[in-house]
Structure 1
Amino acid sequence: MSAEIVQLVEHAGPYLTMAVSAYGAAVLTRTQDAAAEATANVGQRILQAVWHRRNEQERAELAAAVQDAADAPDDEDAAAALRQQIKRALREDADLVDELTRLLPARSETVHVTASGERSIAAKTIGTAVTGDNATVQP
């Protein structure tokens, strides 16, 4: 499985969870206009995009995975089974990869900054930083 598909499904995970939590199994049949919130809407649109590209049997499998996830929102196995359905669809349809990539918001950069010790400073970017007593800053 390509790393791109794994990353795409990981990025989509919170949206899928929110959509299933908000709408349950009806997420596959709700109209897009009925979405009440942005995160659930993205998850719903992802699931509907996958749904519309599957055959009858694959739709039944996807619907079962959505129903399981909706029935047990805290069950990691149910969530993983749903993600597996999405991965399978993505492996089989390169156009779907492009479509879902466009649906997902751009990823934000995660930055971890740690300061340790007396008067230490931690920042991703910094202009002027002064530590110490009676410091003078010249422009």
Structure 2
Amino acid sequence: MSAELVQLVGQVGPYLTTAVGAYGVAVFTRAEDAAVDATANLGRRMLQAVWRRRDVQGRAELEAAVQDTADAPGDEDAAVALRQQVKCALREDTELLAELARMLPVGGETVNVMASGERSIAAKTIGTAVTGDNTTIRP
């Protein structure tokens, strides 16, 4: 098994388990949810990418691993089984490996930004942001 594969599965693992914790088995069918954090939404997109590229048996095995992980949050054995399913899919599909690698934040950086309160703004980077009424922005 290539070191690249092992490293990638290690990097995507937290996203996968966070997505399953947030979405459960609906992770395969749900659209992105603004109320769910960025980590869970990225994990959802990763699991959907794996799901789309699996055959019927592979989908059933992946779904079973997701169900086990959803049923036992915090169970490391269930999380390992889920990562193993993803690893099997990646071994069989080098294009999927590249697709998941492209999904990861650059440099493995995870950024969580949260805003709270009326007219709050939260962003990692921002150009112009206006929260007031009757504001005119001039170039």
Establish whether TM, by shorter chain, passes 0.5. Answer: yes
Aligned to 2:48: 48
Once residues 108 and 55 of structure 2 are traced to their aligned partners in structure 1, the CA distance between those partners, rounded to angstroms, is 35
Normalising by structure 1, we get a TM-score of: 0.74
Aligned to 2:13: 13
Aligned to 1:81: 81
How many residues end up aligned between the 2 structures?
108
Q: Deviations over 1:10-69 (max 9, x none)?
A: 0011111110111111111112x3352210011001100000000011100000000000
Amino acid at match of 2:95: D
Instruction: Give 1 or 2 for the bigger CA radius of gyration.
Output: 1
Amino acid at match of 1:27: V
Once residues 53 and 99 of structure 2 are traced to their aligned partners in structure 1, the CA distance between those partners, rounded to angstroms, is 11
Task: Map residues 86-97 of structure 1 onto 2, 5 A cutoff.
Answer: 86-97=86-97
Structure 2: where are the runs of 5+ without partners? 110-139
Aligned to 1:34: 33
Once residues 26 and 13 of structure 1 are traced to their aligned partners in structure 2, the CA distance between those partners, rounded to angstroms, is 18
Please state how far the C-alpha of 1:108 moved relative to its aligned partner: 4.6
Q: Between the two proteins, what is the percent identity of the paired residues?
A: 68
Q: Deviations over 1:90-111 (max 9, x none)?
A: 00000001100011112358xx
Aligned to 1:64: 64
